[in-house]
Structure 1
Amino acid sequence: MPSATPAFDVVMLGGDIGVYALARAFHEAYGVRSTVISRIATGPVDSAVIDNVLLGIGASNDDHISELLRRGRERARHEADRADEDRVPVILLANTDGYARLFARHRAELDRYYRISLVDETTLDRIADKGRFAEACERVGVPTPLTHIEDFAGADDPDWTPSELDLPFPVVAKAAASSEHELVDYPGKKKVNFVETPHQLADLWRRVRESGFRDRFVVQELVPGDDTWMRSVTAYRDHRGVVTLMCTAQVLLEEHTPSALGNPCAMITTPFTEAMDHARSLLDHLDYRGFANFDAKVDPRDGSFRFLEVNPRIGRNNYYVTGAGANVARFIVADLIEDRSPEPVTVTNEIVYSVLPKRLLLRYITDPDLKRHVKKIMRKGIVHPLVYRAEGWRRRGYVLVAKANHVKKFMTYYPKPTESGF
């Protein structure tokens, strides 16, 4: 760890590839091993740079908070006789919407033991819901697709009927709050629904209603274009209100399994100034704190951006930022440990980030110019978040199996590229 940086520890909740990418960033920058608290040990966090704490598959969110508070109290007792300057602070992080809300709900308790950079629950309510996000965008002039909100709050009433949709088909439908959608199950459940006709929409509303879902669904116009028209924006805004990090990427291919539809699995970092400006204006308007990850799409009809949603966290594929040269851990540490705003960084370096076999990825890039450019950048190497020299042979085997599984999933759910990405 650099001598100018005080000692610190890192604790995270979760077990996906995004949590591992954060742990890797801390290890690369500071040599710090992260403690990861999760229900079970998953492949990504079965790592040489992580100390896993497993609560069991049946552990609830309350169990996670109890474990955090227990560890915090134990640490406080251990350091009670130390001077303030000798106490080692602990950064607390997570990388799902549910955990972000859990932290916000228990912020007063957690602040006693941990350093957290996180939006408050009121702000979270304004942006985690995709419908309210669109409303916030409208206030500051950030463009979004035409949007319709379907509220299922009164769906227990036998006389309830869906509202009239004033959008042209096809449309895209998704739960306004993914954390609420995770609580229900129904036939054909998907993270994102491509709806071509009024009959299909009526059938979706019937299944959603019968599942007991009583929150809101967002229906939006379908912005044309395949996955390569999608853009990712990752930003960090510190507690002083300074946006210290901005990085954008063009999505090359997204996952197409029903439960993960829309998650990028390959990107190329490229600076998109207009998207950065829109993201910055929204973060400032909301007085946002911490990491934010925006999903946007370029409309091929006029080249304009359409912002779709914001994740109130760094995002599953955050290693594309670190891989492009802006180690994300440094921005957290500057804010929470060093108590300073570093010189703001706008990433301009181009890298290809991918968890896929090279041939599989190239198969789905149909634009000849883009394919040539991607191949050119690939010559510098492909950044894979799980491929890290500190890991051993077990990790190499896991990566090979994961790549093979991606081939199987694409052949099953998206065997050929389409113009719409659906």
Structure 2
Amino acid sequence: MNDNRFILRPIIVGANHRSSSLALRDALFVDDAAQPFFLAALRQAGLAQAVVLSTCDRVEVLTMHHDAAVAEAIIAQAFAMRGHVTTDGLAGQLYTLADEAAVKHCFAVTASLDSLIIGEPYVLGQVKACHRISREAGLCGPEMETLLAAAYAVAKRVRSETAVAERPVSIASAAVQFARDLHGELSDCQALLLGAGEMGGLVAESMLAAGVHRLVVAAPRQSQAESLAESLNCHLGAFENLSELMPDADIVLTAVSGRHHLIGAEHIQAALRKRRRKPVFLVDVGIPGDIDPAVNRVDGAFLYDLTDLERLAMEGRATREVAAREAWTIVDAELTSFSRGRAARVAVPSIVALRSRFEAVRDQALAEAGGDAEKATHLLVSRLLHEPSEAMREIAAGGDGTKAEWDAAEQLLRRLFRLE
């Protein structure tokens, strides 16, 4: 018969942006190259199934094990070794989730509902990449595959049925959205970044990630421009040659924050003439601003500053918060369905054992009846009911102390056999 003590349970042990410090997550971080070794250590310690999800928001191990306490101890020890800290040093910064709580967390993470920025599209890809590494390491059994397949289905529903990922929620993503509104796909666009301010670098990085095929960096200080161009793996331009750089740029990002406007209406008009009136998108993230607001009055020039970008980002965050509530409804519904299916799978070994027992009794009754069908059916009914009847009598004869046990057994018997 099935022993519930050895049923594999979904268990998650980890640290995320709510439970732990950034310093600890940095120490525990397991990059792709290190994951096979980390997984091997978990296997050697006694985990037969495990997936490691390591991002800037979280470091988690999803495992299948019959004992949550044992799994927690194994994973905590692996984390301690990875981060060069003691297990006491991890106390209060790790969480352990088991059974339905672990499944719900897995669904929420995969659907990007548990991230610092709700709805970010890269999370699903990260989960799939970690899943692949685990599978290649031989640590993905059928239970793990079933859970992750369900998680991917949840993420797909959330993406297709809600607006959780439809609006930009950061200044950088807002800039990308405005650029796409003007130019469409960005794969044919060139961008120019003027200045080495942090926000300008973030926006430029997002533009590259969105498909911009060429980016030129120029800054008042050449050393800063060289450093930024190297980090972004892009081209370097001469800041003093601004008038020559501008006409080639479909997107102009400024992050100089100087005392005077760097770009005026006359600069844009000259660039547009050389561009044959092809429009230009300008993003000014300088404080104070680098681009004269009069540029907005130039036909073909579309200027957005930090106020414009922050407004769109705030609207996006509000939209995602509403959509997230709808998404959690999907997660709860899928969790109920998954839990019912899992409970049904847990019952399978007992059902198989019961069927095998009945078949054995049937074969014995047929053999003893010698071809007499009536005798065989009487023998079959008698023998199938003998042991359950004895057990029921023992429970009923146990006195008042077993009344609750008798009531439960009687209810189960009536439910199983549809007794009136």
Q: What TM-score, normalized to structure 2?
A: 0.23
Structure of larger gyration radius: 2
Which structure would you say has the larger RCO, counting Cα contacts within 8 Å and 6 or more residues apart?
1
User: What's the TM-score once normalised by structure 1's chain length?
Assistant: 0.23
Larger helix proportion, structure 1 or 2? Answer: 2
